[in-house]
Amino acid sequence: MLQDIGDLEPLWTSPDHPVVCWPLRGEYQGGIRHSHPDLEAAVILKGVQETRYVDAELECRPGDVWFAASGEMHSHRTPVPVTNICLAFGPDFLGDAMLGDRHWLAIFGQAPGRRPRVASDEQRASVLSTGWQMYREATTQSPGWEAAVRIHLLQVLLTLAREWVPNQHPSARPGDLSALLPALETVCTRAKQGEKVSTSEAASACAMSRSHFCRTFRRLMARSFGQFEIQSRLAVAAHLLRATQLPVKDIAVRTGFWDDSHLHHHFTAQYGTKPRDFRTRKARHL
């Protein structure tokens, strides 16, 4: 998609719970279906975009939002030049926060045609305004733009999902994120409590055999379940390093690692820096 409109580099926000965004402008045809390991959301700012899935097609105009789940095949076509802000993020970005009695991930667990859409002029105006704010932040990159993009993304999701009533029993077709939703919800909820989730437990929650679950998870998420589970707890550790003065050894135990050296090993592999250096660097930027 990006090759059709120029060599645009993705812009990354912070290293913990990262969001990748592309402010896009131009015309492109999406004859080749593609997928991504992370979740994806895009706000249409100008023009018209047709987003096509395996079993659905959505026409999106200014103020509309389209979503793509992990591993979900989709393509795009723009009959006229379009401007949008497209964002990709992992399930751990959404954390363990709940929207009423359901998790944010329920948005992506639904079939494309069942996901929340703009339902009123007021809602469209709100989404469009927030989308333009993200676009300006990503293109100007003023101090604090990373935090602003992340906040605006959550605002878009909240605006759309607040009055949305999902299908209570989504069908889990092969390739759907909904097949993994119970495991993802369990990990995201319990990571903040420092509780590990075993592969067998996750597979049972999804009503799959362990081997089938492992194959399905790797295919849809482009990583093993074990990697995702550890990454989710590392994201909590990164938050605690940034937001508290707890000793690293206490954070290690609190997030389900054996000790600070165990946390150090995985944290350095994930973030490319030692936990203490990460805390110091973040403190300088606050």
User: Which helix or strand (DSSP H or E) is residue 99 part of?
Assistant: strand 98-99
Going by C-alpha positions, the residue among 93, 71, 70 that lies closest to residue 19 is 93
State pLDDT tens for residues 168-189.
654 555 556 778 888 887 887 7
Query: Does residue 260 have a pLDDT over 80?
Result: yes
State pLDDT tens for residues 41-100.
999 999 999 998 877 899 999 999 999 887 677 888 888 889 999 998 877 787 656 677
Cβ pair 50, 133 in contact under 8 A? no
Cβ pair 118, 65 in contact under 8 A? yes
**Where are the chain's structural domains?**
2-161, 180-285
The pLDDT assigned to 189 comes to: 76
State pLDDT tens for residues 12-41.
787 666 788 888 887 766 555 676 667 899
The pLDDT assigned to 286 comes to: 30
Q: The whole model's pTM is what?
A: 0.69
CATH number of 2-161: 2.60.120.10
CATH number of 180-285: 1.10.10.60
